[in-house]
Amino acid sequence: MREYLDLVDRVLTNGIRKHNRTGVDTLSCFAEHYTIDLSKGFPLVTTKKVNFKSLLHEVLWYLSGDDHIRNLRLHTKIWDAWADADGNLETAYGRFWRRFPSAQMNPVTGQYEVREIDQIAEVIRLLKTQPESRRMVVTAWEPGNALFSKLPPCHYTFAFNVFGTKLNCHLTQRSGDIALGIPFNIAAYAMLTQAIAQDVGMEPGFFSHTIIDAHVYVNHIDGLKEQLKRTPKPLPQLVIAHKPVDDLRFDDFALLDYVCDPSIKFDVAV
């Protein structure tokens, strides 16, 4: 996928060395952006192997609204470093996607009361009833939570926009680990866009991505340089059963014709 490799090249070429909380320096660029045409195939990186099963389990976990990883860790360990021994997670994306706490004043008592908003359900409702709306926004950033969370949301807000019969998605990410996180982020939001598009009778359009701090950890540089030597292969296809989003399960997804280069080992910075 050329868009990803171009991003890697830009950050390696132009990145400024920065210190960060992990203790491993990065090469960082500000406000990187690119757009991917989802009609050309499912944007799963082909210049290294990406663990599609872990990716799929993660997306389904987001959609479940769980605020723990007790079920997720049965299938993948990708969130274990940020959860406690019981699997509770301070910042679980799906919790905010499906149960965002909204404080609203009760006109009778004059007191604020908190109710939970299912942002995904609201997006689907608008797509079915007012597809021209510019208010189809989902956020995972809750300021109070971000004050104490071990890892506040990186990909913290996304918005959908319709052109004709095409559903487009724009993701804004405050922090992006180019080697490990970004390939997952691209594929996860492409998968989500395709699933929602099918639910509302549309087709996937474009995925657009802004990364505010786009960075390469210095111990990932050699692996990414190796990846840049590889030639992207044709993108695979993702087939999703025609079901409402909330009815989708692991076996409703099939990845077809995924041909990729071997894995490259990148250490996770915690």
Tell me if 261 is assigned to some domain: no
pTM across the whole model: 0.94
Identify the pLDDT of residue 49.
96
What domain range includes position 76?
A: 2-256
Whether 229 contacts 206, CB under 8 Å:
no
* Catalytic, out of 29, 154, 169, 260: 154
Tell me if 267 is assigned to some domain: no
Give the CATH number of the domain where residue 119 resides. 3.30.572.10
Tell me if 266 is assigned to some domain: no
Tell me if 251 is assigned to some domain: yes
Identify the pLDDT of residue 180.
94
Identify the pLDDT of residue 90.
86
Identify the pLDDT of residue 75.
93
**SS3 letters across the chain:** CHHHHHHHHHHHHHCEEECCCCCCCEEEEEEEEEEEEHHHCCCCCCCCCCCHHHHHHHHHHHHHCCCECCCHHHCCCCCHHHECCCCEECCCHHHHHHCEEEEEECCCCCCEEEEEECHHHHHHHHHHHCCCCCCCEEECCCHHHHHHCCCCCCEEEEEEEEECCEEEEEEEEEEEECCCHHHHHHHHHHHHHHHHHHHCCCEEEEEEEEEEEEEEEHHHHHHHHHHHCCCCCCCCEEEECCCCHHHCCHHHEEEECCCCCCCCCCCCCC
Identify the pLDDT of residue 52.
97
Tell me if 135 is assigned to some domain: yes
Tell me if 264 is assigned to some domain: no
Domains of the chain: total? 1
Tell me if 265 is assigned to some domain: no
Identify the pLDDT of residue 50.
96
Identify the pLDDT of residue 106.
86
Q: What tens-digit pLDDT sequence spans the chain (270 residues)? A: 899 999 999 999 999 999 988 888 999 999 999 999 999 999 999 999 999 999 999 999 999 999 999 999 999 988 998 888 889 998 889 999 999 999 888 888 888 888 999 999 999 999 999 999 999 999 999 999 999 888 999 999 999 999 999 999 999 999 999 999 999 999 999 999 999 999 999 999 999 999 999 999 999 999 999 999 999 999 999 999 999 999 999 999 999 999 999 999 998 877
Tell me if 99 is assigned to some domain: yes
Identify the pLDDT of residue 269.
77
Catalytic site includes residue 260: no
